[in-house]
Structure 1
Amino acid sequence: MNQTITLEGLTKRYGRATAVDELTCAVHPGVVTGFLGPNGAGKSTTIRMIVGLDRPSSGRAAVGGRPYHALPAPLREVGVLLDGRSAHPRRSARDHLRMLAASNRIRDRRVTAVLEQVGLDGVADRRAGTFSLGMSQRLGIAAALLGDPGVLIFDEPVNGLDPGGIRWIRGLMRGLAAEGRTVLVSSHLLAEMEQTADHLIVIGRGRLLADTPMTSVTGSLEDAYLALTADSVEFGS
């Protein structure tokens, strides 16, 4: 199955403001693609359009050649981490995942498997509202992995994780890519991206600034990134 994410002239306007401006690029299987840009660059808006939460003003976002809303069982094809605290606070971690699984015809045994994979099996019956930020993040990652999808999108995945957790998610993402999956990760942590990403897509003011292998970056990623985005930083960001 084609697991490439394709953006073709993707544009999102809010009144007179343009958040994403004619963005055209592709995210391919088998590598970790870092999605970088200053605050207000349009990264989150782009991700929301990929997964059907926002409608493009023009252009197209597709996964495997199809828009997200056309996927018959989305969680089985695309796993997404946007907000680790999205679970209902009174619902247990296990019940949160069971509800998601039922909505996408995913077997209940998969819930047990992902709880173990993210290290939450010992607290699976605790209410999500009692979780720390790092535990909530792990639950969000479990939800993304639930359908064993070929495409995974992580927005700030290390948020709230301790050093051990950061090393774990780094290994997880690289392992998923090594299995031939498509992995897109948005992050502000350049040092972490330098250790994790194989390819980079950089945007500024909603426009594509770079689409390049990590091996093409000379010197530090921080220096290269700051030089590239110098004209794209919003005042006060």
Structure 2
Amino acid sequence: MPRPGTVMPMIEAQELTKRYRTTVAVDRLSFQVRPGRVTGFLGPNGAGKSTTMRMILGLDTPTGGHALVGGRPYRSLPYPLREVGALLDAGAVHGGLSARQHLAWLAASNRLPRARVADVLGRTGLEVVAGKRIRGFSLGMRQRLGIAAALLGDPPILIFDEPVNGLDPEGIAWIRGLLRALAAEGRTILVSSHLMSETALTADHLLIIGQGRLLADTGIDELLRSAGAATLEDAYLRLTQNAVEYRSMDVHR
């Protein structure tokens, strides 16, 4: 947990752009994700959310612009789990390993104390299944394991892509409470979701994109007032009604 009084780093994107031949997936996207709050990352399918997260985490190379975590490119971090924790795909683990083995390997690769494995197993409620092979895990257990891995280095920055996908109400409520608690500790949290009702209960701030461009960088109450809407879903639908999955490049621009 961060020390009291510590100035926590944030996520920054500046003119972040990703093109695939004649398709623009992310178009000159600039924003900051600040510490101490849950920032919801919203947009229609194909809006560029996952691509943006992958560029922040150094998994995709931008065509233009840059993304920084704590003032540095992710790829420059010597031990990234100590700086940034991320869950992009809960299924991207070796099914033949146990949960404890998987976390122990991650800890060793980032020179983290072995005691952190027990800590995150406890925080995510996985102690009783820690010795079981991951291939037998339910989707909810895999999501918890992915979050345990993200928390392993006690990082100040956390990035989650659709963490509640496929979860039952108990699992959704657990993740909601965890995100709120992590934000209260002063961490910087970016979480994408398609569930408007859940985002309304969890997020303090919103980034909304469409066609790879930033549509809103605002608090929920401010968005509702500006859209003249009673619910986040209504405001979101009004804001994104003209968004499509991808926009072809204007080669004359």
TM > 0.5:
yes
Q: Which residue of 2 aligns with 1:44?
A: 50
Q: Tell me which of 70, 82, 101 is aligned to 2:88.
A: 82
Query: Any conservation in 2 of the 1:2–1:65 contact (CA below 8 Å)?
Result: no
In structure 1, C-alpha distance between the alignment counterparts of 2:244 and 2:12, rounded to whole Å: 26
Q: Tell me which of 144, 160, 173 is aligned to 1:167.
A: 173
Q: Which residue of 2 aligns with 1:227?
A: 238
Query: Any conservation in 2 of the 1:137–1:160 contact (CA below 8 Å)?
Result: no
**Aligned partner letter, 2:174:** W
Q: Which residue of 1 aligns with 2:201?
A: 195
In structure 1, C-alpha distance between the alignment counterparts of 2:184 and 2:139, rounded to whole Å: 28
> So what's the TM-score if we normalise by structure 2?
0.91
In structure 1, C-alpha distance between the alignment counterparts of 2:121 and 2:37, rounded to whole Å: 25
> 1:169 Cα deviation (Å)?
0.7
Q: Which residue of 1 aligns with 2:4?
A: none
Query: Any conservation in 1 of the 2:8–2:187 contact (CA below 8 Å)?
Result: no
Q: Which residue of 2 aligns with 1:100?
A: 106
Query: Any conservation in 2 of the 1:94–1:125 contact (CA below 8 Å)?
Result: yes
Percent of aligned pairs with the same amino acid: 64
In structure 2, C-alpha distance between the alignment counterparts of 1:31 and 1:200, rounded to whole Å: 10
5+ residue gaps in structure 1? none
5+ residue gaps in structure 2? 1-6, 225-229, 247-253
In structure 2, C-alpha distance between the alignment counterparts of 1:160 and 1:233, rounded to whole Å: 25
> 1:214 Cα deviation (Å)?
1.5
Give the alignment of 1:1-237 within 5 angstroms.
1-218=7-224, 219-234=230-245
Runs of 4+ in 1 over 6 A off after TM superposition: none
Query: Any conservation in 1 of the 2:16–2:26 contact (CA below 8 Å)?
Result: yes
Query: Any conservation in 1 of the 2:8–2:186 contact (CA below 8 Å)?
Result: no
In structure 1, C-alpha distance between the alignment counterparts of 2:202 and 2:181, rounded to whole Å: 11
Q: Which residue of 1 aligns with 2:3?
A: none
Aligned alpha-carbon RMSD (Å): 1.0
In structure 1, C-alpha distance between the alignment counterparts of 2:231 and 2:153, rounded to whole Å: 36
In structure 2, C-alpha distance between the alignment counterparts of 1:179 and 1:120, rounded to whole Å: 22
In structure 2, C-alpha distance between the alignment counterparts of 1:67 and 1:46, rounded to whole Å: 14
Secondary structure at the aligned position of 2:201 is classed as helix
**Aligned partner letter, 2:245:** E
> 1:159 Cα deviation (Å)?
1.6
> 1:154 Cα deviation (Å)?
0.6
> So what's the TM-score if we normalise by structure 1?
0.97
Query: Any conservation in 1 of the 2:42–2:206 contact (CA below 8 Å)?
Result: yes
